[in-house]
Structure 1
């Protein structure tokens, strides 16, 4: 079965790694057809194991090889397609749209945090199919009140986000 591993915290805040090295770690952990998408930690691969087993195997392999606490989320091809097909916002060149991959229930935590934060004009959030989506004006992602919340340590192992354009690239590689 085809999967995508979404790594958290790769190539930010001093955790730098080459995707070729990450792919090699995945291969050594028994994954097949391994390929990276962008430098932000999206690894497409094949395996006969289920997503829960793969998460444990790959976090251990990544942690040991790179000497850091690896956090990743493994989604099947079908699950990844749901992320792409559930986007609630119209594409607009003035906005970034992010989808969040994470632990079950994290979408509700994110919505609570979003509702507490002050928002820029036309900054929006919605939950569709248990997936949290966030639309933010370009240039405001890191400066927004909600963007700052996303860096909280308490959320570190709960989720990671990707621009929705990344989901499209990942799906094309999975097919």
Structure 2
């Protein structure tokens, strides 16, 4: 058995884009210095898996403060456990569609959306695109790619919520990293 503590996944928003530079190796060192263990990152866009006996609210505040103090910016952070990511992924209404991986995106909501302009979202989405919304996530299916999506370009005008997006490949990797760590 590895170190005691619960397995957590940290999902930062807006990392290493738009000037929010945060080298993952430096983040790992900082988190280890705060007593978190088994810290691992995945790609440079702000995904971290770790073990801690602290609670979710304490971890979120501590990590955000740490990032601000060391990297000079404050960014939204969602700290979730393995059960949360498994539940959100299981609720994905597009999980059985032919196109997966980078065609499916999960926008993890930090809190339920306060405004939803569904009529406008329907107008903006391409014929091949689809979406669904729950209190925990906005699911987006884009078999032709997310980069050209008019809906995603205007999503902030249609859906008022703090959120951070990951494609299905990234979600699966983070889930598997957390599950592997839990087995140790």
Query: TM tier, shorter chain?
Result: 0.7 to 0.9
Q: CA RMSD in A?
A: 2.5
With over 3 angstroms needed to count, the CA separation of the structure-2 counterparts of 1:167 and 1:150, relative to structure 1, is: same
TM-score w.r.t. length of structure 1:
0.85
Runs of 4+ in 1 over 6 A off after TM superposition: none
Q: CA-to-partner distance for each residue in 1:87-129, whole Å, 9 max, x for gaps?
A: 21114169711111122212x6466486265111221111356
- Whole-angstrom distance in 1 between the partners of 2:120 and 2:52: 36
Aligned residue among 123, 130, 138 for 2:129: 123
- Whole-angstrom distance in 2 between the partners of 1:62 and 1:97: 29
With over 3 angstroms needed to count, the CA separation of the structure-2 counterparts of 1:111 and 1:124, relative to structure 1, is: farther
Contact 1:3–1:76 (8 Å) recurs in 2? yes
Unaligned runs of 5+ in 1: none
Name the stretch that deviates more: 91-100 or 165-174. 91-100
The 5-angstrom pairing of residues 41-120 of structure 1 reads: 41-89=46-94, 90-92=97-99, 96-106=103-113, 109=115, 112=118, 115=121, 117-120=123-126
With over 3 angstroms needed to count, the CA separation of the structure-2 counterparts of 1:14 and 1:173, relative to structure 1, is: same
2:3 paired residue number = none
Q: Is residue 169 of structure 2 the alignment partner of residue 162 of structure 1? A: no
Aligned residue among 167, 172, 175 for 2:176: 172
- Alpha-carbon deviation of 1:30? 2.3
TM-score w.r.t. length of structure 2:
0.81
- Whole-angstrom distance in 2 between the partners of 1:95 and 1:57: 32
Unaligned runs of 5+ in 2: 1-5, 180-184
Aligned length: 171
Contact 1:99–1:133 (8 Å) recurs in 2? yes
- Whole-angstrom distance in 2 between the partners of 1:42 and 1:95: 16
Q: CA-to-partner distance for each residue in 1:46-67, whole Å, 9 max, x for gaps?
A: 1111111111111000111100
